[in-house]
Amino acid sequence: METSLWSKVVQRALDRGILSETTPKVFIYHLDKLQNTWKQLFDAFPPKTLHTFALKACPVKGVLSLAFSYGFGAECASIGEVYLAKSFGCPSERIVFDSPVKTMKDLKLALDDEIYINADNFQELEKIQQLLRENEEELCNKQVRVGLRINPQIGSGLIQETSTASAQSKFGVPLKEKLEEIVECFQRYSFLKGIHVHVGSQGCTWELLEQGIRAGVDLLVQLRERFPERLQTLDIGGGLSADYDGVSQGASFEEYVSRLERVAPELFDSSLQLITEFGRRLCAKAGIFVSRVEYTKQSGNRNIVLCHIGADNFLRPVYLPKNWKHRILVLDKQGGNKLLDGREYPMIEQDIAGPLCFSGDIFATGRLLPRCEPGDWLVVLDSGAYTLSMYSRHTSQWVSAVYGFHENSNEPFQLLKKEESPEELIRFWS
Ligand code: LLP
CATH superfamily of 99-276: Alanine racemase (3.20.20.10)
Cβ-contact 35, 363 below 8 angstroms: no
| Residue range 13-21: mean pLDDT, rounded | 97
Which of 319, 318, 339 has the alpha carbon at shortest distance from 328?
339
How much of the chain exceeds pLDDT 70, in percent? 99
Q: pLDDT tens digits, residue range 257-299? A: 999 999 999 999 999 999 999 999 999 999 999 999 999 999 9
pLDDT band at 43 (very low <50, low <70, confident <90, very high): very high
Q: Is the per-residue pLDDT at 227 higher than 80?
A: yes
pLDDT band at 161 (very low <50, low <70, confident <90, very high): confident
β-bridge mates for residue 352, sequence order = 305, 364
| Residue range 21-45: mean pLDDT, rounded | 97
β-bridge mates for residue 328, sequence order = 380
Domain ranges of the chain: 2-29+285-429, 99-276
Name the closest-CA residue to atom 19, ligand 1.
162
**What is the reported pLDDT for 135?**
97
Mutate to test the pocket of ligand 1, among 277, 283, 322 (most ligand atoms within 8 A of CB): 277
Ligand 1 neighbours, Cβ below 6 Å, are 54, 56-57, 75, 98, 162, 198, 201-202, 237-240, 277-281, 316, 386
For domain 2-29+285-429, which CATH number applies: 2.40.37.10, 3.40.50.2000, 2.130.10.30, 3.30.565.10? 2.40.37.10
Q: Is the per-residue pLDDT at 238 higher than 70?
A: yes
**Ligand 1: which atom is nearest the Cα of residue 279?**
14
Cβ-contact 195, 147 below 8 angstroms: yes
Active site residue 357: yes
Model's pTM, two decimal places?
Answer: 0.96
Could you give phi then psi for residue 347, rounded to 5 degrees?
Answer: -85, 125
Which of 324, 311, 308 has the alpha carbon at shortest distance from 246?
324
pLDDT band at 2 (very low <50, low <70, confident <90, very high): confident
Mutate to test the pocket of ligand 1, among 201, 240, 322, 382 (most ligand atoms within 8 A of CB): 201
Of 76, 185, 357, 372, the active-site residue reads 357
Q: Is 56 helix (H, G, I), strand (E, B) or coil?
A: helix
The DSSP code for 159 is -
- Beta strand pairing call for 50-54 and 25-30: unpaired
- Rounded (5°) CA angle 173-178-181: 105
Specify whether the backbone of 163 is left (phi greater than 0), alpha (psi in -120 to 50) or beta. Answer: beta
Using CA atoms, how far residue 201 sits from 154, 269, 320, 323, in Å, is 14, 26, 13, 13
**What is the reported pLDDT for 333?**
96
Q: Is 35 helix (H, G, I), strand (E, B) or coil?
A: helix
Which of 27, 17, 13, 6 has the alpha carbon at shortest distance from 401?
27
Q: pLDDT tens digits, residue range 340-390? A: 877 779 999 999 999 999 999 999 999 999 999 999 999 999 999 999 999
How far is the centre of ligand 1, averaged over its atoms, from the C-alpha of 96 (Å)?
14
Contacts (Cβ under 8 Å, ≥6 apart) of 374: 293, 294, 295, 296
How far is the centre of ligand 1, averaged over its atoms, from the C-alpha of 69 (Å)?
22
ipTM: 0.99
Mutate to test the pocket of ligand 1, among 52, 56, 318 (most ligand atoms within 8 A of CB): 56
Using CA atoms, how far residue 281 sits from 177, 199, 242, 303, 428, in Å, is 32, 15, 6, 34, 31
First to last CA, the chain: 47
